[in-house]
Structure formats: structure tokens, C-alpha cells
Amino acid sequence: MANVYDAAYNLEKAIRESDDYKNLKQFYENVMNDETSKRLFNEFRETQFQLQQKQMMGEDLTDADVQKAQMQFSLIQQNEAISKLIQAEERMGMILSDLNRVMMKPLEDLYGMPGGFQ
Amino acid sequence: MANVYDAAYNLEKAIRESDDYKNLKQFYENVMNDETSKRLFNEFRETQFQLQQKQMMGEDLTDADVQKAQMQFSLIQQNEAISKLIQAEERMGMILSDLNRVMMKPLEDLYGMPGGFQ
Ligand SMILES: [Ca+2]
Ligand SMILES: [Ca+2]
């Protein structure tokens, strides 16, 4: 089994050394090192999280919820550091989703569907 | 970026070549090549899927649902081929979950929580 874990650690290392990860890290630090951007970003994330929780619980979003999210979204769009971070997150998210799909391919082949038995 | 995908394909290859995957494949084929086991296994999976869907939709399980699941579960427990398959699936599930955790470690380090921004 060592082989599988070795291969996973190699993948982890390749991710850390990739330009996409280094950019993400830099943009994250840029946001965290600027008080205004940091506060704005954390509030935006918190709102996203709360709305997701509500939706997962089957609760309706109120007009106040939607307005708050829209207001925060328009503020972060005007913030260059945050915009760059969010773009880098989206790119990293697509890459990780690709990598995960590759990793799950053997199960998909066996069970004839994405994700296999899971 | 080629590096990250190369590393992922290496991981995929290591999974395919692992004893755990080969065992899983063999046990899956054993079940699928025996008509009774195949039918029993597919019915069990279908029931599991239906009950999960109900729970995700927030619907209550009926007593009939629970009884059907218990009946099928006791039948598959008495079937050696299926029991072996299910054990192999559980083991593979744990391994894939480990590998996924390793892959997500760089994000966890950056964001200070499992899964990072996702
Ligand atoms: Ca409304
Ligand atoms: Ca009842």
C-alpha cells in the first residue's frame, strides 16, 4: 500500500509547487495583510456560509439575506486584491476537481459511474 | 501545470495496481458473475440509494422502508461473496478518503481548515 500513499504525497508536493497554488497563497496573504480587504473578505465568506447552511436546512432565504449578499458581492468586486483571490480560488477549485476525477477513475471504471460505490 | 496532472495520473496508476483495488475488482466480479448475489446486491444498493434520497429530501422513512432495508441487510450478511465485496469497498473508501485528505492538505494549511475555501 505504501505506493498509493507515496503517490498521494507526490501529488501534494506537486500542488504546493504549482504556480496556481503559489499565486493563490500570495493573493490570500495580500488580502489578509490589508485590514479592510481582510474584513470584507471574511464577512463575505461568513455570509456565503450562512446562506449555504440555510439552503441545506431547506430554509428560505429572506430578502434581507439576498440584499446583504448582493451588497457584499458588489463591494468585493470593487476590491482588486479580493477579486484576484477569488479568481485564484476558482482556478484552484477546478484543478482540484480535475485531480479528484482522475483519482476516482479506477472506481468509475469498475462501477460504471462517477464516484463508484460512494 | 503538467506536473500536477502527471502526479495525479501516477496516483491513479498506483490505485489500479494496489492489492486493495485488485481485491475489490475481483470481489465485484465474483458478485456480478453469480445471478443470485448480483440481484441481491443490486437490490440492496437500490434500497440504500432510495433511503438516502428520502433523507436528503427531509422525508421520514416509513416502517416498511426500515423493515425492507433490515431484511436485505440480513440477506447480504449471509452471502459470503457480497460480504467480502462490501468489506473491500469499505477499505477502499477509507483509502480514497485518506488520499483525498493528503491532496487537500495544501489548501487546509493555507485556510486553516479542512477543505480550505471549498
Ligand atoms: Ca421574498
Ligand atoms: Ca414509524
Euclidean distance between CA atoms B30 and B42, whole angstroms: 13
Host domain of residue A15: 2-111
Question: Residue B83: inside a domain, yes or no?
Answer: yes
The answer to whether the CB atoms of A103 and B8 lie below 8 A apart is yes
Mean pLDDT estimate for chain B = 92
Rounded distance, CA B26 to CA A104, Å?
18
pLDDT at B118: 57
pLDDT of residue A1: 45
Examine residue B93 and state whether it is found in any structural domain, yes or no. Answer: yes
- What is the structure's pLDDT at A116? 65
**Contacts A–B by Cβ distance under 8 A:** 116
Read off the CATH number of the domain in which B43 is found: 1.20.1500.10
Average pLDDT over residues A100-107: 95
- Report residues near ion ligand 1: CB below 5 Å: A 63
List phi, psi (to 5°) of B60.
Answer: -75, 145
pLDDT in tens, A50-86: 999 998 888 899 999 999 999 999 999 999 999 999 9
Burial of A101 (0-12, 13-18, 19+ CB in 10 A): middle
Residue B21, in any domain of the structure: yes
A103/B28 CB distance under 8 A: no
The confidence score (pLDDT) of residue B18 equals 97
Query: What is the model's pLDDT at position B67?
Result: 93
Query: What's the number of domains chain B is made of?
Result: 1
Backbone angles phi, psi at A52, to 5 degrees: -60, -45
Calculate how close chain A gets to B67, using CA atoms only, in Å: 23
pLDDT in tens, B15-61: 999 999 999 999 999 999 999 999 999 999 999 999 999 988 888 99
Could you tell me the pLDDT band of residue B82, with boundaries at 50, 70 and 90?
Answer: very high
Closest listed ligand to the CA of B62: 2
Residue B1: is its pLDDT beyond 50?
Answer: no
Q: Which of B25, B57, B117 to mutate to test the interface with A (most CBs of A within 10 A)?
A: B117
A56 touches chain B (CB under 8 A): no
Indicate yes or no: CB of B89 within 8 angstroms of CB of A12. no
Please tell me the distance from the alpha carbon of residue B22 to that of residue B74, in angstroms, as a whole number: 27
Spell out which residues of chain A touch residue B110, defining contact as CB-CB under 8 Å.
Answer: 24-25, 28
Per-residue pLDDT for A36 more than 90?
Answer: yes
Q: Tell which residue, A24, A111, A97, has the closest CA to residue B8.
A: A97
Q: Does residue B25 or residue A117 have the better pLDDT?
A: B25
Residue A117 lies in a domain: no
- Give ipTM to 2 decimals: 0.83
Q: Is residue B118 part of a domain?
A: no
B116 domain-assigned = no
Q: How many CB atoms lie within 10 A of CB B73?
A: 12
Judge whether B117 lies within some domain.
no
Decide if A40 contacts A68 (C-beta within 8 A): no
pLDDT value for A96:
96
